[in-house]
Amino acid sequence: MRTLLNIIWLVFAGVWLALGYVVAGVVCCILIITIPFGIASFRIARYALWPFGYTVERDPRAGAPSVIGNVIWVIVAGIWLAAGHVVTGVALCVTIIGIPLGIANFKLIPISLLPLGARIVPVTT
């Protein structure tokens, strides 16, 4: 079931959302000092391509630098990426078949706002 949802996700939302993260990552890597943001953006881009079967957990060892970095990220790119998830999620929830995809979009909003200090891990069932 996860594979089917991931394939449908890829077609209707994943490619476009991942492209947004890749663009943000490239811009961050070009600016040298923001390379950690670029790396986090590339991690989220991979997660945005294939979200079903993975979850986000906060790293308990993340300290003040990740908090400061997350504040900067929210101002620079997080709001725009989260807005993309909200718009895409609402559009997908219009249809009954798209509801699980819309929920997955809403699940990506917290990591799009606060990417530093978070890990993307496989779901164990």
> At a CB cut-off of 8 Å and minimum separation 6, what does 35 contact?
28, 29
Q: Say if residue 95's pLDDT is above 80.
A: yes
Whole-model pTM: value is: 0.84
Rounded Cα gap, residues 85 and 30, in angstroms: 25
CA distances from 14 to 28, 50, 67, 73, 117 (A): 21, 7, 27, 21, 23
pLDDT at 91: 92
- How many domains does the chain divide into? 1
pLDDT at position 125: 66
Instruction: Identify the pLDDT of residue 5.
Output: 87
Residue 32 has pLDDT above 80, yes or no: yes
Burial class (CB in 10 A: 0-12, 13-18, 19+), 80: exposed
Longest dimension (CA), the chain: 44
Question: Which pLDDT belongs to residue 29?
Answer: 93
Task: State the residue range of the domain holding 65.
Answer: 2-122
pLDDT single digits (tens) 38-89? 999 999 999 999 998 898 998 888 788 888 989 988 988 889 989 989 999 9
User: Residue written as tokens 């929920």?
Assistant: 103
What's the rounded Cα separation, in Å, for the pair 6 and 106? 15
Q: Which residue type does 52 have? A: F
